[in-house]
Amino acid sequence: MKKNAETDPATPEKTPGPTGKKASAKKPAPAKRTAPAKKAAPAGKAASAKKSAPAKKAASAGKAAPAKKSASAGKRTAAARKAAPLKRQAPARKPAVVPAKAAAPVEGVAPAKTIAPHSPRDESRTALVRRARRINRELAEVYPYAHPELDFENPFQLLVATVLSAQTTDLRVNQTTPALFARYPTPEDLAAANPEEVEEILRPCGFFRAKTRSVIGLSKALTEDHGGEVPGRLDDLVKLPGVGRKTAFVVLGNAFGRPGITVDTHFQRLVRRWQWTEETDPDKIEAAVGALFPRSDWTDLSHHVIWHGRRICHARKPACGACPIAPLCPAYGEGETDPEKAKKLLKYEKGGLPGQRLKPPQAYLDAGGTPAPPLGAG
């Protein structure tokens, strides 16, 4: 047997065959297991492979490149998820900012509860009367020396100056009347005047032709019907050329001491802004406001309201932040509410250059408490 094995040439090849198979069986076994081990290694990393659906698909396909793409896609998805809320946060910021901007100026300067505790449209008649009279008292403290801002020495000069003040400023009238009264001091003189000469004097006041006809016409009526004297009755005054109820009450209240309400443009604007009345006709406004106050207050009330309208409560830009009656005004907030900015809107006029700014109304009283000279007196 040994001899046959040694002499057989094929035997040596068959003999190592089984041993080589054993060795090769041992060596390839790990190699065959290595491939699935590499595939299973990512899947065997704890719960990440189980939780990741793309990882299971990549492992079953056995392609490494898709696995990398899925990982990058996952990163992009996470980044997109993080970026998405940022776009949604932009509109979310507006509700947080807008209320702060809306509330800060009003609450910082004057809280809404202090400015307008209730709607004046719902207030009773008694509450309206009390609020209106309190406003007048407050204005009386701010403008203690309120008076007509037209310069005059007698009822005739006041009547003519008031007629000339239509559609122009009192300052302009005060600059024009000295020359007029120096040349025509009495109704008789003005009634006999040359219209062309009067027009030349009144040209700076505007509408000088119409105003010339009015002042010459009323001077003739005073000369012919009233003995050259200005009548002290409303019915007689309103019959004069160029004289209406407003002009008549200015003359009656300031030249004769008879109470009257002067409903000019400032007065109409403010009483409607304060919601004392909703009327638009001057005669109806006069009646509605007159019913809120005793008759003795009418003349001073007119001065207070007109002065306030010219100095603080302007038509376009009221200085709400510098207004002494802001807590009583239902229209608070229509103008500038910042105190410093509102102070720049204040206007005070006096005889002199147009647009001249003066001290506040309290400064019209001198240090000793004696009333200062009237505006335009020097």
Closest of 229, 261, 253, 241 to residue 166, by C-alpha: 241
* Sequence-separated contacts (24+) of 354-360 with Cβ below 8 Å: 354/169, 354/171, 354/172
Closest of 205, 192, 198, 196 to residue 161, by C-alpha: 205
Active site residue 170: no
The active-site residue, picked from 236, 264, 317, 338, is: 264
The active-site residue, picked from 151, 170, 211, 246, is: 246
* Sequence-separated contacts (24+) of 107-113 with Cβ below 8 Å: 109/321, 109/337, 109/338, 109/339, 110/326, 110/327, 110/332, 110/337
Identity of the amino acid at 193: A
Q: Outline where 203-297 has alpha helix (H).
A: 208-225, 234-237, 245-255, 265-273, 282-290
CA dist., res. 348 & res. 227, Å (int): 39
CA dist., res. 236 & res. 251, Å (int): 12
Active site residue 189: no
Closest of 303, 327, 301, 331 to residue 317, by C-alpha: 331
Phi, psi of 338 (to 5 degrees): -70, 125
Point out the residues that are catalytic: 246, 264
